[in-house]
Chain A
């Protein structure tokens, strides 16, 4: 199976619609997503798409490392407990290859050792699954240096 999953037609269509919305941010920043669970990978991806991001998904840490070696990646959302290469290994290599990449760690359970390690190597946030969508997107925006929550979203979630 190919580890690097190209954005699907469905997501492309969503992205196209998002792009046409005048109230939305003009920039189409690509967020990388690494999780070995296909359901979580797709749902987190669509959550980002619903907020106007373009998403590149990986179900293997190795594939992401290969990608990041030749691409500029501003942000990666990374799962910690994966078979084969774990999130912590990905983190360690990322430090060496692309220290400017921001990292948001999502994990199935609290693990203080992993949290400390992650925070030491440039992680901006450490979220426990299942996480709150507002909080997650806010962290994503902040990691990318955006303004706080866009007005439309804030108004409707009241």
Chain B
């Protein structure tokens, strides 16, 4: 409201206070002001006004008319009041009517924005509901506009049974009441606007670097800030709809975004979604979308306000971090294969030796012309078996050296340890180290990626072998044991009898690049820990009683995959 309007209003109020019927007016105004304030919305406020005016003035019927959304006609609003039951027929007739600007009482008031008074409607040529009025025995009528600035929000219409001459004083009072109504509504609208603005601001504050959008579900239109249009690749003049917004979402994630939106819409709550959007030029962006549904006092959805943040850069760095982690893991596995040189060489040499010997023997039998088909068959079968075994060794190494093998399955850690020990069998032999295993037969299964768990075990075993390498034969031993922790998790521990961990800083062995070995990268244990933690487990180290280091890890027991999936 401009200052001039305020002054205008105040001067009018000043005039009214000098009026003879001042007390009546004041009482009506007071009552209505209080009740309208309590009413909450425009329609309830109108009901209060209609009833109070009828009660105070003795007019028998009152109803409100509202211009339609397009502004083409004025129609009956939901608010009305009648002092007598048989006036309901007149209400029904009104409900069936609508007026263009200038037609009937509502149309005239709407057009002129001025009160209208009719002494006897049954004698008025511009009164369409004349039959209904005659039946209801209504004659005197008045229509008063409810203005907001220059806009007619509503027209209130009153009737009495008798023919009435124009009562300017009454019109004045009701106009003042109507103004009061507008003031109250104004205040409410302002409060609503503030609430919305607050909602918007808080949303904005929550998310830096945001693009802002508002969706009007009733009209299925949307507004989007310029920044938002840039993020989504919308032309600045393109009319927007929710469908258009959703069409930008990557097809893999579109259904999920739509579902989150619908969920928020039905519950009038908020929704949040992280997804990709695909721009018209084919570029993909990662965005975080947050939306909030705003409703009116009756719980009707008014609009959905939201923000979209471009998180592509953050996603990219997350991705790079993951790739780096994968790369380190991979390097560690390759390094482990390298450290298992004795085993790798031995495991490959055995079948290769068998193949070479068998082939040489076959050739010799041939050379002498003494070939027995049974012997030849045996030689060839053994060659095939040895080749197959060599292939398995290669596959085992390749499995360790391969990247990104992280499919999880149901594992029994006892079996994984046994397999891993077979892999390093020759190293254990050549290092003349005794490896004692103590397996808990009730060890619960875990869900894990076999290659990764093998990597953890190899890191611990190779470290333990290194730790005892320089010791006299009798002390060169490891104890690998498993234990069920109340059936809730499986514990694996690798104990050596070496010099133990640095006294005051056992945890330091898990730091990057901490190594006590001449050739070590110092990454093994860091990677092992990250693998265990990625499986919701823990990896720790302590000095064992009686000397040496004890490394242990826990993995949570599987919550039970169906048996069929265990393989």
Contact = CB atoms under 8 A, between A and B. Distances in A.
Interface of A: 10-11, 13-14, 17-18, 21, 37, 39-40, 42-44, 46-47, 49-51, 81-83, 86, 106, 108-109, 111, 129-131, 133, 152-153, 156
B429 A39 contact: no
B429 A81 contact: yes
A44 B367 contact: no
Contacts of B379: 43, 46
A96 B353 CA distance: 30
B365 A14 contact: yes
Nearest to B364: A50
B345 A46 contact: no
A44 B425 CA distance: 22
A22 B364 CA distance: 16
A43 B384 CA distance: 12
Interface stretch (B216-224, B355-363, B393-401, B463-471): B355-363
A117 B389 CA distance: 31
B260 interface: no
Contacts of B358: 43, 46-47
Given A39-B386, A111-B430, A133-B356, A46 B361 contact: yes
Given A83-B429, A131-B353, A156 B374 contact: no
B19 interface: no
Interface of B: 341-342, 345-346, 349-358, 360-362, 364-365, 367-368, 370, 372, 374-375, 378-379, 382, 385-386, 389, 425-426, 429-430, 432
Contacts of B349: 108-109, 129-130
Contacts of B342: 108-109
A39 B389 contact: yes
Given A13-B375, A81-B426, 8 more contacts: A10-B374, A37-B354, A40-B350, A40-B353, A40-B354, A46-B357, A109-B346, A133-B357
Contact of B360 (A17, A86, A129, A133): A133
B360 A13 contact: no
Contact of B368 (A21, A106, A111): A21
A89 B112 CA distance: 120
Nearest to A82: B429
Nearest to B357: A43
Main secondary structure of the interface of B (DSSP, over half): helix
Contact of A130 (B353, B364, B432): B353
A50 B354 contact: no
Contacts of A83: 425, 429
A82 B355 CA distance: 20
A140 B244 CA distance: 85
A14 B370 contact: yes
Nearest to A23: B368
Contacts of A40: 350, 353-354, 357
B368 A152 contact: yes
Nearest to B352: A130
B363 to A, nearest CB: 8
B386 A43 contact: yes
B240 to A, nearest CB: 72
A104 B268 CA distance: 86
Chain A to chain B: the 8 pairs with minimum beta-carbon distance, closest first = A133-B360, A43-B357, A50-B364, A108-B346, A39-B354, A130-B353, A129-B353, A43-B354
B382 to A, nearest CB: 6
Nearest to A111: B430
A129 B370 contact: no
20 contacts: A14-B365, A18-B368, A18-B370, A21-B370, A37-B350, A37-B354, A40-B350, A42-B378, A43-B356, A44-B357, A46-B379, A47-B357, A47-B364, A50-B365, A50-B368, A81-B430, A86-B432, A130-B349, A130-B352, A130-B356
Which of A49, A108, A111, A152 is packed against the most chain B CB atoms within 10 Å?
A: A108
Given A21-B370, A39-B386, A108 B361 contact: no
Contacts of B382: 39, 42-43
A37 to B, nearest CB: 5
A14 B389 contact: no
B360 to A, nearest CB: 3
Contacts of B385: 39
A28 to B, nearest CB: 15
A156 B363 CA distance: 10
Contacts of B430: 81, 109, 111
Contacts of A51: 364
Contacts of A111: 430
A152 B370 CA distance: 13
B309 to A, nearest CB: 59
B367 A47 contact: no
A109 B349 CA distance: 8
A152 B368 CA distance: 8
